[in-house]
Chains A and B, each alone.
Chain A
Amino acid sequence: MIKRLLIAAAALVWLGGLVVVGTAYLVGLKQASAWPPEPAAQPAEEKNAAKAERAVQQLEKRMAGLLPRGTYIVIDTAANRLFLKEGAKVVREAVVSCGSGVVLEEPGGKKRTWVFDTPRGEFAVKSKITNPYWVKPDWAFIEEGETVPKAMEDRIEAGTLGDYALGFGQGYFIHGTLYTRLLGRNVTHGCVRVGDEDLKAVFKAVPVGAKIYIY
């Protein structure tokens, strides 16, 4: 008798659960079937449609006005690619190296931290330099376990940045590299390294003030 009662109770619980899950599923299915919503069944009035069409044209014109003018640079930090663009047209595509994402922690008293990311966002070419020298920042010495020099001349290194450099603010540059075998990989301290031929073409094509989009 007790066994039968237990079986009946278990069956009841199981059926109850099934009903709850089934109801939940049907309720959800009804909601989900409303997505994506169909366009409204009632046709808009001719006057409203024409008004909306005019508004669309105005908005499209405004949107077109937001696009960068002239030659500009787009950099994909994930794919390590640089695109030189004019309007929607890609003029040149180059394999580059972007930031490694590594964090450097300074030992000792100051305990400063650096994150080697290529900054993302909208920038502009602020400077164009031929035969640039690298003024080594503190992290370059700390990373190598060396003492940070006090004299400026001890920080200057020639040849590391290649033949050209395009500055885009806060010490970041698009420049050349000695490590061409690592192009296509994320290895830099935040700057964008470009191969010699591509760098020359980019340097010649973009003026100071040209937009740079890094994503």
Chain B
Amino acid sequence: MGRKALAFAFLGAVAVAVAGRAEAADRTGPAQRQAGLAAEYGLAKESQFYFVLDVPGRKLDLRVRGMVLKSWPLRDMRFWGDPGFAGTVALAKKTTLKSPERIVLRPGEAKEAGPAPAPAKPVAKGAAPNPAEYELEALELKDMPKAFGLDFDNGLHVSVKARDAAAQGLSKRLRGALRWYVGLPLRNLFGTKEGKALSELELVFESGQDAQAIYWHFFDGIRGIILP
């Protein structure tokens, strides 16, 4: 009997604590939403595109005028450093090992640039060629990198990766682990070269195309909100 009473008392206490916490969250919800909406309204009243990194919702949106143009769900994310980076930010620059390069046409040297659009592979007689297979003189989504960095004006560095790109060879994974578990903690402890506090966020998306589309749509200077 004594044990049962003790168990009920314990369960009751847990239930009260959980309810209290839920109520607290409910009550603080509007204040957080108000702050988020106020920040977004500031961006949405201008005609520029902006992004919203919704950490609790685990998604990255591209928006204009409050309308979601494109949404990329986050498969995974992790973080090192100073967590005080939420709020309104602007993209200072994109960094990647190999930036996509534009094709330059100089009519006098046109012969070097190659002929007009033609199928990349021989097509069976009678079969319609697949437009996706044409070799074109163009900069397209498929030319964008699948892994890159975004440096924001508040010092936050965001690494963007795709799940399929993240599952690389052993050496790349080892290098990545060494950077994440040794390099970044040391830089965080001793400070960055610029003397700023380190803030490193890694976002992993489902497919390479998601990462490529983010590279395509995120232009230098784009502003956005990070919702904590």
Contact = CB atoms under 8 A, between A and B. Distances in A.
A and B pair up: yes
Interface of A: 20-21, 23-25, 27-29, 31-32, 34-37, 39-44, 46, 48-49, 52-53, 55-56, 59-60, 62-64, 66-68, 74, 76-79, 88, 100-107, 115, 120-122, 142-145, 181-187, 213, 215
A60 B38 CA distance: 9
Q: What 4 A-B pairs are tightest by C-beta distance, nearest first?
A: A101-B139, A35-B83, A52-B30, A24-B185
B138 A187 contact: yes
Nearest to A213: B64
Contacts of B170: none
Interface in B10-56: 23-25, 27-34, 37-38, 40-41, 44-45, 47-49, 55-56
Interface residues of B, number: 70
B31 A182 contact: no
B189 A28 contact: yes
A24 B41 contact: no
Given A32-B80, A100-B139, A186-B138, A56 B102 contact: no
B217 A66 contact: no
B140 to A, nearest CB: 5
A56 B45 contact: no
A55 B117 CA distance: 56
Interface stretch (B91-99, B103-111, B146-154, B157-165): B103-111
A68 B216 CA distance: 24
Interface of B: 23-25, 27-34, 37-38, 40-41, 44-45, 47-49, 55-56, 62, 64-67, 69-70, 78-83, 86, 102-108, 110, 117, 128-129, 131-132, 134, 136-141, 181-182, 184-186, 188-190, 212-213, 216-217, 219, 228
A205 to B, nearest CB: 18
A120 B48 CA distance: 9
B186 A49 contact: no
Contact of A39 (B32, B79, B137): B32
B139 A102 contact: yes
5 contacts: A66-B66, A100-B103, A101-B102, A104-B107, A105-B106
B66 A41 contact: no
Contacts of B189: 20, 23-24, 27-28
B37 A60 contact: yes
Contacts of A56: 30, 33-34, 37
